[in-house]
Structure 1
Amino acid sequence: MRRRLGQALLVLLGAFTLAFVLLQVLPGDAVMIRFLGTDMGLTPDQIAELRIVYGADAPLWQQYLHSLGNFLQGRLGTSIRAGVPVTRLLAENLPSTLLLATLALAVAGVLALLLAVLAQAAPFGWLRGLARSTPPGFAALPVFWLGIMLIEIFSFQLGLVSVIAPGPWEELVLPVATLAIPISAPLAQILIRQADRILAEPFVSVARAKGARQGWVLRHHVLRNAAPPVLAMAGLLFGELLGGAVVTEAVFGLGGLGGLTQQAVANQDVAVLQAIVVLSAAVFVALGLLVDLAQPLLDPRQRRGLA
């Protein structure tokens, strides 16, 4: 466990360093973009003072060590665009993105389970074949294209979901579907493969010989034994969902990290962008650790590896 924690810290340090380097090589200057193009009437000397205030005039190695020290103390810097601490911006925008990602993962899980059950227990062969061939098609759908198509069909053509002044839950329907459909593909593929493997095991044949029905076998044998790999994939996909949510929020004009990232990119707000990158890496690392801890609880054969 200590080794895994050490690896997690190295991943976070690597993400922070890579984000810092890539953001520093971007053309332009965040302070100049923010203040020179405004009507504040600032003189070059005043802008130079602002560069000193924001630390933009220091050598890169000093900026790196200063930023790293602040991050370790929980100080993520100040947004050049908004003039407020980055932690405040994250606290205001992160909850809506987490809600969107959580709902999308839940819907994706239900959709994947439905496809897996149809692939094994559908009464018609063509329906079983369709259930098996659907996940690759879902995985190939670009998120931004799918979002636009869902808006066109369900909002403009059918008028089922309003895109003009929707309610707090109505505005989540299409974004959740946009994220859930592609994410359900890998979950469904794992479930179908695991079901094929488990149903070929001798203990399943014994259960069927004793009179167990297909539904009972699926619930008590397939789902239980397929849970560990599906859980591991779901943990990784949730981190991916946060990244996908940024694009989806931009397509649907939602708030959250998507809008915050858009504004930060447009203004080269380095502190905000770096915080978002490190936050995403931290989510991936935390979910990986949680999955590692949860898997032995579901599969006793892995408990020795937890020590």
Structure 2
Amino acid sequence: MWRYVLRRLVQAVVVLWAAYTVTFLVLDLLPGDPVSTLAGAGADSQGIDPAQIARLKHQYGFDQPVLVRYFHYLTKALRGDFGVSVSTNRPVSSVMLDALPPTLALTGLGLAIGIAFGGAIALLATYTNQRWLRQALLSLPSLGVSVPGFWVGLMLVQLFSFRIRLFPAFGNDGLRGLILPAVTLAVLPGAMIAQILAKSLLTALAEPYAQTAQAKGAGRARVHLRHALRNAVLPALTITGVLTGQLMANAVVIETVFSRNGLGRITAAAVTAQDIPVVQGVVVFGAFVFITVNLVIDLVYPLLDPRIAVGSGGRGPSRRRSGTVDTPAGGGALTTPAVEPAAGSAL
């Protein structure tokens, strides 16, 4: 168990370093530099002395070779210091802390709405006996995945803000101002969760243990929720971890559409201004959130399904199947016994 956690932590450090390095190199390949971008197309037209621009470049290190700047910034980042924003002349940590609460509220509510609606659609579609209702519900996830998020946001603003006047169209106006952006952000994760969970539920309901439970007198609702759902939720849980990073990326578009303050807007502004320290800080934070959520999900797997265990060989979650045992390549034994869902024992 601990070897697996340690292995994942090492992988997390490598991913964070890769995200930081790729971001730095991509921004460095862009023409110009933040100081020249802020000065405008021409220094004379802005009334800025070229010597002053040269001093600013030296102050921020943009007159140094790329490798020197990279290792200088990387050394500071290892100490948790991402430098000073070129645009605002404020510490990057302060800029991010000011913008973090609105973004966390938006992504958290969006993920909660997506899980609730996606799970409800999947459960209802696989439980109902009405063929037309099942087909209609199962077609909604495909529609949700194919519709662009910004278009959904604009339609919601047109309907609920300009016509019904129920929610504000723009700004950070408390909970009312959070509803439309969160619903817009929830469309994609809700659709993907519904699609995967519905397919997993249909597969689980066709397994022998579900049929055995029905033969012993368990009701449809009990078989659906008690036996099938527990096994079917694992793929949906996996995609939820992946979608966490997707939500952080989509927040850039959503916050722009709804003119909300947050990490998305400061990221868009920093990319436009080539504000390298701010962009790197946001990218590393997003990678850290993504890695942490997926690590937690991996550790939750054995709690949901006793057949899944973390191998002592350090290769992560493994599964024992009836009749056979999957062992890690390192030869370590699995830590839980081989069991099948006890459909009859819980009746």
Smaller-chain TM-score range?
Answer: over 0.9
**Distance change (3 Å), C-alpha of 1:61 and 1:299:** same
Q: Deviations over 1:234-267 (max 9, x none)?
A: 1111111011111100000000012111221232
Give, in angstroms, the shift of residue 123 of structure 1.
4.4
Cα gap change, 1:278 to 1:167, in 2 (>3 Å)? closer
The Cα of 1:137 is off from its aligned counterpart by 0.8
CA 1:150–1:63: 2 relative to 1, 3 Å: same
The answer to whether the Cα contact below 8 Å between 2:189 and 2:243 also exists between their aligned partners in 1 is yes
| Superposed displacement of residue 40, structure 1 | 8.0
State whether structure 2 residue 63 is matched by structure 1 residue 32: no
Letter in 2 for 1:9: V
Could you tell me how far 1:164 is from its partner in structure 2? 6.1
Deviations 1:26-71 (A, max 9, x none): 1222112224579985422222111111111111000000011011
Deviations 1:252-306 (A, max 9, x none): 0000012111221232211111211222222222222111111122222221436
Q: How many Å separate the matches in 1 of 2:18 and 2:136?
A: 43
Q: Which moved more, 1:214-223 or 1:99-108?
A: 214-223
Alignment partners' CA distance in 2, 1:180 and 1:305: 35
- 187-196 or 210-219: bigger deviation: 210-219
Counterpart Cα distance in 2 of 1:117 and 1:164: 34
Once the two structures are superposed, residues 126-173 of structure 1 have per-residue CA deviations (whole angstroms, 9 ceiling, x without a partner) of: 111111111111101111111111111221222222326773011111
User: Which secondary structure state, in structure 1, belongs to the residue aligned with residue 307 of structure 2?
Assistant: helix
1:54-111 Cα offsets, whole Å, 9 max, x none, are 1111110000000110110100011011110000011110121111111111111111
Note closer, same or farther for the CA distance 1:165–1:245 as it changes in structure 2 (3 Å cut). Answer: closer
The corresponding residue for 2:244 is 238
Counterparts in 2 of 1:78-227, with a 5 A limit? 78-163=84-169, 167-227=173-233
Name structure 1 gaps, 5 residues minimum: none
Equivalent residue number for residue 19 of structure 1: 23
Residue number in structure 2 paired with 1:259: 265
Confirm or deny: 8 A CA contact 2:153 2:180 kept in the other structure.
yes
SS in 2 for 1:300: coil
| 1:63 pairs with 2:69 | yes
Q: Aligned partners of 1:153 and 1:55: how far apart in 2?
A: 50
Q: 2 CA distance for matches of 1:200 and 1:235?
A: 27
Q: TM-score, normalised by structure 2?
A: 0.84
Question: Which of the pair is proportionally richer in helix?
Answer: 1
Q: In angstroms, what is the RMSD of aligned CA positions? A: 1.8
Which structure has the higher relative contact order (CA within 8 Å, separation 6+)? Answer: 1
Contact map agreement 1:297 1:303 (CA 8 A) in 2: no
Contact 2:171–2:261 (CA<8 Å) still a contact in 1? Answer: no
Amino acid at match of 1:263: A
Larger Rg: 2
CA distance in 2, matches of 1:77, 1:107: 36
Identity, in percent, stands at 41
TM-superposed CA distance for 1:5, in Å, is 2.0
Give 2:18's aligned amino acid.
Answer: G
TM-score by length of 1: 0.94
Cα distance in 1 for residues equivalent to 2:272 and 2:19: 22
Number of aligned residue pairs: give it: 307
In the aligned structure 1, how far is the partner of 2:194 from the partner of 2:311? 27
Change (3 A) 1:81 1:165: closer
Contact 1:143 / 1:182 at 8 angstroms: preserved in 2?
A: yes
